[in-house]
Chain A
Amino acid sequence: MRFAEIDLFGVYVAPISLLLVAAWLATIALRRAAVRLGLLHRVWHPALVVFAVYVIVLASMTLIAGH
Chain B
Amino acid sequence: MTSKTFAEGRARARDTARCTGPPLLFGFRLWASVCLALYVAFWLQLDNAFWAGTSAALMCQPRLGASLRKGWFRMIGTLVGAIAIVALTACFPQDRVPFLLGLALWGAACAAAATLLRNFAAYAAALAGYTAAIIAYDQLGATGGPSGDAFMLAITRTTEISIGIVSAGLVLAASDFGGAKRRLAALFAALSAEIVGGFLGSFELFGAEQREMQPVRRELIKRVIALDPIVDEAIGESSELRARSPVLQGAIDGLLGALASWRIVAVHLEGVSDHPSRNELLRNIPLELRAASRPGPSSQWLRNPVRLRRLCEAAAGNLSALPARTPSLRLLADQTAGVLAGFSRALDGLALLLGDRARPLGRRRTGPVVADWLPSLVNAGRAFIAIAVVAGFWIATAWPGGALAMTWTAIPVILFAPRAGEAYGASVGFMVGNTLAAAFAAVLAFAVLPGLSTFPGFAVAMGLYLVPVGALLAQSSFTHSRHVSIFAAMAGNLVPVLGPANLMSYDTAHFYNTALAILAGNGAAALSFRLVPPLTSRFRTRRLLMLALRDVRAIASARRVENPEELEQRMYARLWALPEEAEPLQRGRLLAALSVGAEILRLRRACAQLGLTPELDRALAALAEGRSTAETGLVQLDRLAAARDGGPESSSVVLRARSSVLTIVEAITQHPSYFGAGAAA
Q: Please report A residues at the B interface, Cβ cutoff 8 Å.
A: 10-14, 17, 45, 47-48, 51
- Per-residue interface assignment for chain B, residues 524 to 546, with 1 indicating a CB less than 8 Å from any chain A CB and 0 otherwise: 00010011010000000000000
Answer yes or no: B358 CB below 8 A from chain A CBs.
no
| Contact partners of B177 in chain A: CB under 8 A | none
A46: nearest chain-B partner, CB-CB: B530
Those 4 A-B pairs whose CB atoms lie nearest each other, nearest first: A47-B530, A11-B508, A11-B512, A47-B531
Q: A14 CA to B527 CA in the complex, in Å? A: 22
18 A-B residue pairs with Cβ-Cβ distance under 8 Å, sorted by A, are: A10-B508, A11-B508, A11-B509, A11-B512, A12-B509, A12-B512, A13-B512, A13-B516, A14-B516, A17-B516, A45-B531, A47-B530, A47-B531, A47-B533, A48-B531, A51-B527, A51-B530, A51-B531
Q: A14 CA to B402 CA in the complex, in Å? A: 14
Q: A51 CA to B533 CA in the complex, in Å? A: 14
Q: A17 CA to B509 CA in the complex, in Å? A: 13
| Contact partners of B516 in chain A: CB under 8 A | 13-14, 17
Interface centre among A11, A12, A51 (most CB of B within 10 A): A11
A20: nearest chain-B partner, CB-CB: B520
| Contact partners of B531 in chain A: CB under 8 A | 45, 47-48, 51
Q: Which residues in chain B, 501-530, are within 8 Å of chain A measured between CB atoms? A: 508-509, 512, 516, 527, 530
* Number of interface residues, chain B, beta carbon within 8 A: 8
Would you give the shortest CB distance from A52 to chain B, in whole angstroms?
A: 10
Q: A10 CA to B511 CA in the complex, in Å? A: 13
Q: A47 CA to B508 CA in the complex, in Å? A: 35
Would you give the shortest CB distance from A43 to chain B, in whole angstroms?
A: 13
Would you give the shortest CB distance from B527 to chain A, in whole angstroms?
A: 7
| Contact partners of B509 in chain A: CB under 8 A | 11-12
B442: nearest chain-A partner, CB-CB: A11
Q: A47 CA to B527 CA in the complex, in Å? A: 9
Would you give the shortest CB distance from A19 to chain B, in whole angstroms?
A: 13
Q: Which residues in chain B, 126-172, are within 8 Å of chain A measured between CB atoms? A: none
Would you give the shortest CB distance from A48 to chain B, in whole angstroms?
A: 6
Q: Which residues in chain B, 421-471, are within 8 Å of chain A measured between CB atoms? A: none
| Contact partners of A48 in chain B: CB under 8 A | 531
Would you give the shortest CB distance from A55 to chain B, in whole angstroms?
A: 11
| Contact partners of A51 in chain B: CB under 8 A | 527, 530-531
Q: A51 CA to B531 CA in the complex, in Å? A: 8
Q: A11 CA to B506 CA in the complex, in Å? A: 12
B519: nearest chain-A partner, CB-CB: A17
A47: nearest chain-B partner, CB-CB: B530
| Contact partners of A17 in chain B: CB under 8 A | 516
Q: A56 CA to B531 CA in the complex, in Å? A: 17
Q: A14 CA to B512 CA in the complex, in Å? A: 10
Q: A13 CA to B508 CA in the complex, in Å? A: 10
Q: A51 CA to B509 CA in the complex, in Å? A: 29
A47-B530, A51-B531 are known; give 15 further A-B pairs, CB within 8 A: A10-B508, A11-B508, A11-B509, A11-B512, A12-B512, A13-B512, A13-B516, A14-B516, A17-B516, A45-B531, A47-B531, A47-B533, A48-B531, A51-B527, A51-B530
Q: A11 CA to B533 CA in the complex, in Å? A: 37
Q: A12 CA to B512 CA in the complex, in Å? A: 9
Q: A47 CA to B516 CA in the complex, in Å? A: 23
B511: nearest chain-A partner, CB-CB: A11
Q: A12 CA to B530 CA in the complex, in Å? A: 32
| Contact partners of B527 in chain A: CB under 8 A | 51
A24: nearest chain-B partner, CB-CB: B523
Would you give the shortest CB distance from B438 to chain A, in whole angstroms?
A: 12
Q: A45 CA to B530 CA in the complex, in Å? A: 9
Would you give the shortest CB distance from B347 to chain A, in whole angstroms?
A: 50
| Contact partners of A13 in chain B: CB under 8 A | 512, 516
| Contact partners of A11 in chain B: CB under 8 A | 508-509, 512
Q: A6 CA to B509 CA in the complex, in Å? A: 12
Q: A11 CA to B516 CA in the complex, in Å? A: 13
Q: A17 CA to B533 CA in the complex, in Å? A: 27
| Contact partners of B533 in chain A: CB under 8 A | 47
Q: A65 CA to B509 CA in the complex, in Å? A: 23
Q: A51 CA to B368 CA in the complex, in Å? A: 39
Q: A13 CA to B519 CA in the complex, in Å? A: 14
Would you give the shortest CB distance from B554 to chain A, in whole angstroms?
A: 35
Q: A10 CA to B508 CA in the complex, in Å? A: 9
Q: A5 CA to B512 CA in the complex, in Å? A: 13
Q: A9 CA to B512 CA in the complex, in Å? A: 12
Q: A9 CA to B291 CA in the complex, in Å? A: 73
| Contact partners of A47 in chain B: CB under 8 A | 530-531, 533
Q: A14 CA to B509 CA in the complex, in Å? A: 10
Q: A10 CA to B442 CA in the complex, in Å? A: 13
Would you give the shortest CB distance from A20 to chain B, in whole angstroms?
A: 8
Q: A12 CA to B542 CA in the complex, in Å? A: 53
| Contact partners of B530 in chain A: CB under 8 A | 47, 51
Q: A11 CA to B515 CA in the complex, in Å? A: 13
Q: Which residues in chain B, 252-311, are within 8 Å of chain A measured between CB atoms? A: none
A13: nearest chain-B partner, CB-CB: B512
Q: A13 CA to B516 CA in the complex, in Å? A: 10
Would you give the shortest CB distance from B385 to chain A, in whole angstroms?
A: 13
Q: A64 CA to B531 CA in the complex, in Å? A: 28
Would you give the shortest CB distance from B649 to chain A, in whole angstroms?
A: 66
A10: nearest chain-B partner, CB-CB: B508
Q: A14 CA to B401 CA in the complex, in Å? A: 12
Would you give the shortest CB distance from B186 to chain A, in whole angstroms?
A: 44
Q: A12 CA to B527 CA in the complex, in Å? A: 27
| Contact partners of A10 in chain B: CB under 8 A | 508
B513: nearest chain-A partner, CB-CB: A14
Would you give the shortest CB distance from A21 to chain B, in whole angstroms?
A: 11
| Contact partners of B512 in chain A: CB under 8 A | 11-13
Q: A14 CA to B23 CA in the complex, in Å? A: 40
